[in-house]
């Protein structure tokens, strides 16, 4: 499985400007996720496949729940296919190249791969707020 990073809201930012050369140097596949794709399953975005009707009810599963936003208003990284060593290497290179902190980062798992980007964002946001005592 090739290493892939999904990038959200990093275009035109200092973090994006510093991160892209790191990813290219490490030969990591980059996918920029635009708002019109936020409701697609993460596995579709990672694989570059388009959503099809044969996904069954996946569209309903990935639809926003009542009260859930359909936007991702801040930078987010979603990583797939990394060994522990390569993930450590990526994070070290990000520090070395002074990539500004990106608070919301996730690894694709069997549990979250069918989620939409919005669902993953909402979960990461909750976890981040819980770890930081509700403060940004």
- 59-98: pLDDT as tens digits: 445 444 444 557 899 999 999 999 999 999 999 999 999 9
The pLDDT of residue 112: 95
CA 44 to chain centre: 12
CA 54 to chain centre: 25
Ramachandran angles phi, psi of 11, nearest 5°:
-60, 130
Radius of gyration of the chain (CA): 15
The pLDDT of residue 110: 93
The pLDDT of residue 50: 46
Pairing outcome for strands 76-80 and 4-8: antiparallel
Residue with tokens 């819980």: 130
The pLDDT of residue 27: 97
Overall pTM surpassing 0.85 (yes/no): no
Query: If you average pLDDT over residues 96-115, what whole number do you get?
Result: 95
Ramachandran angles phi, psi of 43, nearest 5°:
-60, -30
- pLDDT > 90 in the chain, percent: 74
Least Cα distance to 45 among 104, 126, 112 occurs for 112
Query: If you average pLDDT over residues 32-58, what whole number do you get?
Result: 74
- Give the dihedral of Cα atoms 73, 41, 39, 13; nearest 10 deg: 30
Which two tokens mark 132?
A: 């930081």
């Amino acid at each position: 499985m090739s290493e892939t990073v999904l990038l959200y809201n990093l275009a035109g930012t200092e973090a994006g400007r510093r991160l892209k050369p790191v990813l290219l140097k490490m030969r990591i596949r980059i996918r920029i996720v635009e708002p019109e794709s936020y409701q697609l399953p993460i596995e579709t975005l990672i694989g570059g496949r388009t959503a099809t009707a044969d996904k069954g009810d996946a569209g309903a599963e990935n639809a926003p729940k009542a009260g859930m936003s359909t936007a991702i208003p801040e930078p987010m990284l979603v990583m797939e296919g990394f060994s522990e060593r390569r993930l450590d290497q990526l994070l070290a290179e990000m520090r070395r190249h002074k990539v500004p902190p990106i608070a919301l980062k996730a690894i694709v798992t069997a549990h979250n791969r069918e989620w939409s980007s919005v669902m993953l964002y909402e979960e990461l946001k909750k976890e981040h707020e819980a770890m930081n005592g509700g403060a940004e």
